[in-house]
Amino acid sequence: MLFERYYPDGYARNAYAIDYKDLYNRGYRGIIFDIDNTLVPHDAPATAKAALLVRKLKKTGFRVMIVSNNKEPRVRSFAQGVNGGYVFRAGKPGRRGYLEAVDKMGLARERVIVIGDQLFTDIWGANRSGLHSLLVGRISFREPPHIHLKRVLEWPIRLAYRLRSLKV
């Protein structure tokens, strides 16, 4: 089907509601996160909640990378705030940023999962890179206009994904 390239491997209400122990038990050892509206509201700094999540993930045995299309100051600051590695100006949905993150983690692609809130960047980029993907609901509705436009364009794909999921 036309939309399948945008379909995630799974969905969660938000990044903080994921059963990470289940992901670990399923063999994942690396997690790539988007920042804006995945871990914090758009343009927000790293929070104690995000830092605690990354700390728990590392304690579990995960390697954690932040992959973002933002410029280095934003991404570096956030990554330092949560104590994670990062790739800035990743060019999502292109493959380069994802593959660079996988390389930095030193893991095979099948052991890495991407978690993000947007189909056209996070999920499509993960899928194009041969990585598993998990779509999460956005944290905040405050976003720049160009992101709102992408959200409107995502709706038919999200609907098709939900309808396909009901048939299974």
Domains of the chain (ranges; CATH) run 4-167 (3.40.50.1000)
The pLDDT value recorded for residue 166 is 65
β partners of residue 53? none
Report the pLDDT averaged over residues 22-41. 97
pLDDT confidence band for 146 (50 / 70 / 90) = confident
The pLDDT value recorded for residue 69 is 96
DSSP state of 106: T
Residue ranges of alpha helices (H) inside 83-144 are 96-105, 124-128
Asked if 113 and 31 count as a contact pair (C-beta separation under 8 A), the reply is yes
| Nearest in space to 7 (alpha carbons), one of 148, 126, 96, 109 | 126
Residue 168 clears pLDDT 60, i.e. is over it: no
More confident residue, 4 or 114: 114
Residue 46 clears pLDDT 90, i.e. is over it: yes
Residue 117 clears pLDDT 80, i.e. is over it: yes
Report the pLDDT averaged over residues 130-154. 84
CA distance 38 to 30: 17
pLDDT confidence band for 2 (50 / 70 / 90) = confident
Percentage of the chain with pLDDT > 90?
77
More confident residue, 58 or 1: 58
Residue 51 clears pLDDT 70, i.e. is over it: yes
The pLDDT value recorded for residue 1 is 60
Report the pLDDT averaged over residues 1-16. 89
Report the pLDDT averaged over residues 46-54. 98
pLDDT confidence band for 96 (50 / 70 / 90) = very high
CA distance 67 to 62: 16
Residue 35 clears pLDDT 70, i.e. is over it: yes
Beta strands in the chain (DSSP E): 10-12, 30-33, 63-67, 85-87, 112-116, 132-136
